[in-house]
Amino acid sequence: MAEVRLDGVTKRYGKNEAVSEMSWTANPGELVVLFGPAGAGKTTTLKMIAGLEPLDGGDIYFDSQSLREVDTADRNVAMAFENYALYPHLTVYENIAFPLMVPGKKNQFSKEEISRRISEIAAVLQIEMLLKRMPQELSGGQRQRVALGRCLVREPAVTLLDEPIAHLDAKLRHRMYAELKRIQRQRGTTTIYATPAQTEAMAMADRIVVIFNGKVQQIGTPRELYERPVSVNVAKFGGEQTMNIMPAKLITEGGSLRFLLAGNHLPMQNNVEADLKASQVGQDIIIGVRPPDMTCSLAPIEGGFPAEVYAVEHSGRHPLVTLKLGEQLIEVISGVLSSGVQVGTPIWLSLANCRLYVFDAVTSQLVVTSNGQPA
Amino acid sequence: MSSITFQKIWKIYNKKVLAVRDLNLVCQDHEFLALLGPSGCGKTTSLRMVAGLEGITAGEIKIGDKVVNDLRPRERDIAMVYESYGLYPHLSVYDNIAFPLRVRHIADEEIKRRVGRVSEIVDLQDILGRFPSELGDGQKQRVSIARAIVREPAVFLFDEPISHLDETLRRRMRKEIKHLQSTLGTTMIYVTHDQIEAMAMADRIVVMDQGVVQQVGTPEDLFDSPANLFCAGFIGEPPMNIVTGKLVREAERLMFQSNGLKLSVTNPAQIQILETMRNPDIVLGIRPSHVAPKVEATATSVPAEVYGFEPHGDYNIVTCKVGAEVLLAVSGSDFFPDLGQPIHLEFSSNLHFFDVNTKWNVLKGQGANHG
């Protein structure tokens, strides 16, 4: 169990800066997810922690020890990367046992101890029946779990996992979230876990480090990221119900602040109005609202605006209805809209009572969020 | 626009590999019908038989009233969209879209008018001069869709058109395709392995496995009354909980009992059938959204332990251990339990029972609902 600390870590490939001045800390025993799109710098960061890529700036510490002079083999990290890299001439059992057979320290683990550990980990990963097979006889999802087993059979100071369960079916995936999280908690191994999937990040993380273009965007618990995304990018990335992002303007009307959205003058909650400064009047802003939080109605509503039904998709209890407002598509999920609603039907929306986020149009940073209470 | 009828359709490759077995199905005029199943289930083969790209071993396919078995693909009045786009790399976007009109010797003026109109529908009007290599994946697929609709065919056949796109683009294209089909009203057969996609878009879904239709129904039908264990496990996210156990009688009440779970059966139609079954072994299915985790016990709740936890924003998935069973449950967004915390599960009456041998829903009997 070690603290992992990155301090201003930078990595360049030629002119391209893959990781820029990255700083964050994983507490001892914590599971930190690195979350971002492909190419964000997640894997590069893991490789630098493992010692597989040299740093171009900054430093990485395990507890208070700088890793600058510490070889890969001496860092006491275990890794599972997305390309499984199993030994093709060894059985599944032998592949998993491999890290326990340290050259020169042949008898560090007894046969019984090795067997005990492998049984335990195979049960967790549900690969008990595969132990005698060869890697080429396995499916992608099975190989991935063997690679994960080989990583988890050790009890290192730090575990690094790069999209370790990207290829599993839905049923196994939910189970693996629970099993992995459990074994990580039980052992208290500090774990850094990279994924581009929002649901996976939310399921696994104690805390999430959101990374775009090699830069940290936000660090927080899953709940904090959902409730208070600091920027448009964090708010709209991934997710089953992505936030609607609506470009608008702030104006005044009769002494009150209004949103100007596609020609409509819309009132807002008092607390939002109080937090927006008069100096911001006339500025471009971005309004963010999640689909279930939109207030909608089939009849005109005071302070509302009409949009037309563009597409209707079946989804859970209520359909996901996409509305078109000018060039803007807006997704809503509401009890008042049934799956029978016809394309072209006008639907009235209001921002007066819903949970909304206001972002600066230039910096994309969060300016204010309502708490969802009526004005 | 036309209906599509599959009548006793069989497809056997090399006299031995059975790809499609006795498919009987009508896709109604204007309908959006999804063929859904895992790879190798026969969905793409079925679509390609409609297109004329695969021969039919036995049976008849009709488009409208016309049997098309012996018609060449271009005589069938269909348009196909593939996962791989199939664009001509040496032709511009305009010429790619115009291609099917040119081969039919349509006048240049008419071609210009029609390409102009469809390129607006799929929002390509500003990039008509570009070449495929200069386009993003979503744009390429829009060109391929424009090329399909420009001919105003009677039938659209879409084969996994968006499976390979990233999540954001896939969600966007889902809406565009759905919008297009709703507004044009063209009959659509849409092949996908992604149940979320099929459930979101289709009017009706045909679930296939190993060349055989398992169930035909609306998304609601498939969610609320799965025909068999295959459909039960394939449809729904998070997936349905499947528990093997026994039927027992306790104080005149019929109960389901497994290694850790005990629930009373309350649906009269189910009781009537379950009462007649000789074998007490049975498989229970219950959707995670029909299992509610609670902090406090109620008169009917079952004690459980939190085994895993996934916040999803506006709802949470709780993995629970009930005796030896591991079940998924769905809670509201304000339920934040600790791992290992004792909780209580409230089961709704929406239980599904499957015959342990035939794997069919006891309420459905055996045999697919051939629509």
Write the pLDDT tens digit of every residue in B59-109. 999 999 999 999 999 899 999 998 888 899 999 999 999 999 999 899 999
Judged by CB atoms closer than 8 Å, whether chains meet at B339 and A343 is answered as no
Same domain for B216 and B86:
yes
In chain A, which residues have their Cβ closer than 8 Å to the Cβ of B174? 311, 313
The residue among B111, B107, B74, B77 whose CA lies nearest residue B94 is B111
Q: How many helices (H) and strands (E) does chain A have?
A: 9, 21
Ramachandran region, residue A177 (left: φ > 0; alpha: ψ -120 to 50; beta: rest): alpha
Would you place residue A239 in the very low, low, confident or very high pLDDT band (cuts 50, 70, 90)?
low
**Highest-pLDDT range among A227-241, A278-292, B161-175, B183-197:** B183-197
pLDDT at A18: 95
Q: What is the mean pLDDT of residues B209-220?
A: 96
Task: Using the 3D structure, point to which of B216, B233, B250 is the last residue of a domain.
Answer: B233
Q: What is the mean pLDDT of chain B?
A: 93
Chain B closest-CA separation from residue A239 CA (Å): 8
User: CA of B241: which chain A residue's CA is closest?
Assistant: A171
Over 80: is that where the pLDDT of A128 sits? yes
CA A308 to chain centroid, in Å, comes to 32
Averaged pLDDT, A50-76:
94
A228-232: list long-range contacts, CB under 8 Å, 24+ apart.
A228/A366, A228/A369, A229/A288, A229/A357, A229/A366, A230/A365, A230/A366, A231/A359, A231/A363, A231/A364, A231/A365, A231/A366, A232/A286, A232/A288, A232/A359, A232/A364
Residue A154: left if φ>0, alpha if ψ -120 to 50, beta else—which one? beta
- Residue B370: per-residue pLDDT: 39
Position A121 confidence tier, pLDDT thresholds 50, 70, 90: very high
Buried b (16+ CB within 10 A) or exposed e, B129-157: eebbeebeebbbbbbbbbbbbbbebbbbb
Distance from CA of A290 to the nearest CA of B (A): 10
Q: Does the residue B369 lie in any domain? A: no
> What is the distance in angstroms between the Cα of B180 and the nearest Cα belonging to chain A?
9
| pLDDT on residue B163 | 87
**Residue A342 DSSP label:** P
CA-wise closest residue to B370 among B55, B59, B76, B156: B59
Which value, to the nearest 10 degrees, does the dihedral of the CA atoms of residues A22, A24, A25, A31 take?
-100
Task: Please tell me the pTM assigned to this model.
Answer: 0.88
Average the pLDDT over B107-133 and give the result.
Answer: 93
Cβ neighbours of A316 in B, within 8 Å = 289
Residue linked to tokens 């992995």: A180
The half-sphere exposure of A196 on its side-chain side, counting CA atoms within 13 A, is 14
What are A358's two structure tokens? 């206001």
Grouping H, G, I as helix, E, B as strand and the rest as coil, residue A157 is coil
Substitution target from A165, A174, A244 for chain B, most B beta carbons within 10 A: A174
Domain with residue B10: its CATH number is: 3.40.50.300
State whether B47 and B153 are in the same domain.
yes
Q: Are B257 and B225 in the same domain?
A: no
> Are residues A178 and B319, on separate chains, in Cβ contact within 8 Å?
yes
Nearest by CB to residue A241, choosing from B175, B239, B313, is B313
Q: Are residues B123 and B251 in the same domain?
A: no
User: Nearest CB to A313: which of B174, B233, B312?
Assistant: B174
Helix (H, G, I), strand (E, B) or coil at A234: helix
Residues of chain B numbered 325-354 and touching chain A (CB < 8 Å)? 326, 328, 336, 339
Strand partners, B11: B20
Interval A3-20: pLDDT, tens: 999 999 999 999 899 999
Among chain A residues, the shortest Cα distance to B185 is held by A343
Shared domain for B229 and B153, answered yes or no, is yes
Give burial (CB, 10 Å; 0-12/13-18/19+) of A235.
Answer: buried
How far are the Cα atoms of A357, B258, B318, B322, B346 from residue B300, in angstroms, in the given order? Answer: 41, 17, 19, 15, 7
**Is B239 within 8 Å of A238 when comparing Cβ atoms?**
no
Domain that holds residue B228: 4-233
Report how many Cβ contacts below 8 Å link chain A to chain B.
Answer: 91
Judged by CB atoms closer than 8 Å, whether chains meet at A170 and B237 is answered as: yes
Q: Tokens standing for A50?
A: 């493992």
pLDDT at A107: 66
Report the residue of chain A nearest B173, measured CA to CA. A311
In a domain, B271, yes or no: yes
Judging contacts by C-beta atoms under 8 Å, the chain B residues touching residue A313 are: 174-175, 178, 200-201
Distances (CA, A) of B211 to B21, B22, B35, B42: 5, 9, 11, 5
- Per-residue pLDDT for B281 more than 90? yes
State the Cα–Cα distance between residues A16 and A37, nearest whole angstrom. 17
Whole-angstrom distance, CA of residue B230 vs CA of residue B38: 11
A322 contacts in B (CB within 8 Å)? 175, 179
Dihedral Cα A291, A296, A302, A308, nearest 10 deg:
90
Q: Is there a domain that residue B368 lies in?
A: no
In a domain, B362, yes or no: no
The closest of B24, B20, B82, B79 to B55, measured between CA atoms, is B20
Residue A306 CB burial class (10 angstroms; 0-12, 13-18, ≥19): middle
**Among residues B66, B53, B79, which one has the least CA distance to residue B7?**
B66
pLDDT at B366: 58
Q: Residue A340's pLDDT is what?
A: 87
> What is the arithmetic mean of pLDDT over B1-14?
94
Minimum Cα–Cα distance from B179: chain A residue = A311
Which pLDDT belongs to residue A373?
40
Q: Which domains does chain A have, with CATH numbers?
A: 4-228 (3.40.50.300), 244-369 (2.40.50.140)
pLDDT at A105: 62
- pLDDT, residue B368, reads 43
- Indicate the residue among B203, B233, B263 that finishes a domain: B233
Examine residue B365 and state whether it is found in any structural domain, yes or no. no
B130 assigned to some structural domain: yes
* B280 touches B321 (CB < 8 A): no
Q: What is the CATH number of the domain that holds B315?
A: 2.40.50.140
Same domain, B150 and B173: yes
Contact between A171 and B233 using a beta-carbon 8 Å cutoff = yes
Closest CA to A360 of A182, A233, A193: A233
Q: Kindly state the tokens that stand for A160.
A: 């690094």
Please state the domain count of chain B: 2
pLDDT at residue A106, rounded to an integer: 61
Regarding whether B177 and B36 lie in a shared domain, the answer is yes
State whether B34 and B12 are in the same domain: yes
Q: Does A173 touch chain B (CB under 8 A)?
A: no
Q: Measure the CA–CA gap between A7 and B274, rounded to whole angstroms.
A: 65
Residue B137, pLDDT score: 86
**According to the model, what pLDDT value does residue A73 have?**
86
In a domain, B360, yes or no: no
| Cβ neighbours of residue B193 closer than 8 Å, sequence gap 6 or more | B36, B37, B38, B39, B43, B160, B163
Mark whether B74 and B180 lie in a shared domain.
yes
Closest residue in B to A171 (Cα–Cα): B239
| Rounded average pLDDT over A130-139 | 93
Q: Are residues B325 and B263 in the same domain?
A: yes
Chain B residue numbers touching A242 (CB-CB < 8 A): 168, 171
CA distance B239 to chain A (A): 6
Q: Which of B217, B233, B249 finishes a domain?
A: B233
The C-alpha atoms of residue A302 and residue B86 are separated, in whole angstroms, by 50
Average pLDDT over residues A190-196: 95
In a domain, B361, yes or no: no
Return the minimum-mean-pLDDT range out of A52-56, A79-83, B358-362.
A79-83
- CA nearest A154: which of A51, A73, A77, A71? A77
Residue B140 sits at the chain A interface (C-beta within 8 Å)? no
Listed range (A29-38, B160-169, B296-305) with the worst mean pLDDT: B160-169
Distance (Å) from the C-alpha of residue B313 to the closest C-alpha of chain A? 6
| B121 in the same domain as B224 | yes
Distance to chain B for A209, nearest Cα, Å:
16
- Report residue A210: phi and psi, to 5°: -85, 125
pLDDT band, residue A238 (cuts 50/70/90) = low
Share of chain A above pLDDT 90, in %: 66
pLDDT of res. B80: 93
Q: Give the pLDDT score at A248.
A: 95
Same domain, B314 and B337: yes
Interface of A with B in 28-67 (CB under 8 A): none
Distances (CA, A) of A333 to A241, A373, B341: 9, 19, 32
Q: Does B30 touch chain A (CB under 8 A)?
A: no
Contacts with B238 from chain A: Cβ below 8 Å: 170, 174
Convert the pLDDT of each residue in B38-62 to its tens digit.
Answer: 989 999 999 999 999 999 999 999 9
Q: Report the C-alpha gap between B30 and B12 in whole angstroms.
A: 30
Which residues are paired to B228 by β-bridges?
A: B360
Contacts of A314 in chain B (CB under 8 A): 199-202, 219-220
Distance CA(B207)–CA(B341), nearest Å, equals 39
